[in-house]
């Protein structure tokens, strides 16, 4: 069995319906480890890159608006799960793409719906296969945002704008001042 990582997104409909806790609880049945998690405001660029394989579909524009939060809230939660057969284990609990065809006890079967304009609001995204999982994890997370990585990482010193908490003049937790 292969140790894998997979990307899960709790989509804007999942957040607006307060399903975050429920979804994470259901996914914990897999006994996989969460190695990264964050709330993201999705830009058009990120949305289009994430769903680039669906560019030609007639629902593409609505899908981009949906994932950017135009219909719900402009936030998604991105998570990386790690462990043996992570990709299949998560996909099984997430359920089929079409929420009406998804197993009723899967996350999408329970919480998804098809809107009157035909968008599948299915509350969660989960990587489909190993190639997609790698592409998606590298798209959504920097290596230093994960506590454990399975893909090679390199580092370089760069000149980059840094934010820190005003007055404490540090980004190190628990440290009051550099002065």
Q: How far is the CB of 168 from ligand ADP (least distance, A)?
A: 42
Closest contact distance (angstroms) between CB of 128 and Mg ion is: 5
Site residues for ligand ADP per CB under 6 A: 54, 59, 63, 97, 118-120, 122, 125, 128
Residue number of the CB closest to Mg ion reads: 128
As a whole number of angstroms, the distance between CA 167 and CA 171 comes to 11
Which does residue 122 touch among Mg ion, ligand ADP, none (CB within 5 to 8 A, set by kind)?
ligand ADP
> Judged by CB, which is closer to ligand ADP: 53, or 138?
53
3-class DSSP state for residue 78?
strand
Binding mask 111-150 for Mg ion (x = CB under 5 A): -----------------x----------------------
Question: Closest CB to ligand ADP among 78 and 149?
Answer: 78
* DSSP for residue 142: -
Q: Which is nearer to Mg ion, 128 or 134 (CB)?
A: 128
Which residue lies nearer to Mg ion by CB, 128 or 145? Answer: 128
Catalytic residue status for 53: no
CB distance 141 to 80 below 8 Å = yes
Which residues does 107 contact at the CB level (< 8 Å), separation at least 6?
23, 26, 27, 93, 94, 95, 123, 124
Sheet containing strand 3-10, edge to edge, reads 33-40, 76-84, 3-10, 124-126
CA–CA gap between residue 9 and residue 11 (Å, rounded): 6
Residues that bind Mg ion (CB under 5 A): 128
Residues with a catalytic annotation lie at 125
């Amino acid at each position: 069995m292969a140790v894998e990582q997979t990307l899960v997104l709790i989509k804007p409909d999942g957040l607006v319906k307060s399903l975050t806790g429920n979804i994470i609880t259901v996914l914990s049945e897999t006994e996989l480890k969460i190695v990264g998690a964050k709330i993201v405001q999705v830009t058009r660029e990120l949305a289009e890159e994430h769903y680039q394989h669906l560019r030609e579909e007639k629902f593409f524009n609505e899908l981009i608006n949906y994932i950017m939060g135009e219909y719900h809230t402009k936030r998604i939660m991105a998570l990386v799960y790690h462990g043996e057969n992570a990709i299949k284990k998560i996909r099984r609990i997430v359920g089929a793409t079409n929420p009406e065809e998804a197993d009723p006890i899967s996350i999408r079967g329970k919480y998804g719906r098809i809107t009157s304009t035909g968008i599948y609001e299915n509350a969660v995204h989960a990587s489909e296969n190993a190639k997609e999982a790698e592409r998606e994890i590298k798209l959504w997370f920097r290596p230093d945002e994960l506590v454990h990585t399975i893909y090679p990482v390199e580092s370089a010193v760069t000149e980059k704008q840094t934010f820190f908490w005003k007055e404490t003049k540090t980004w190190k937790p628990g440290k009051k001042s550099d002065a």
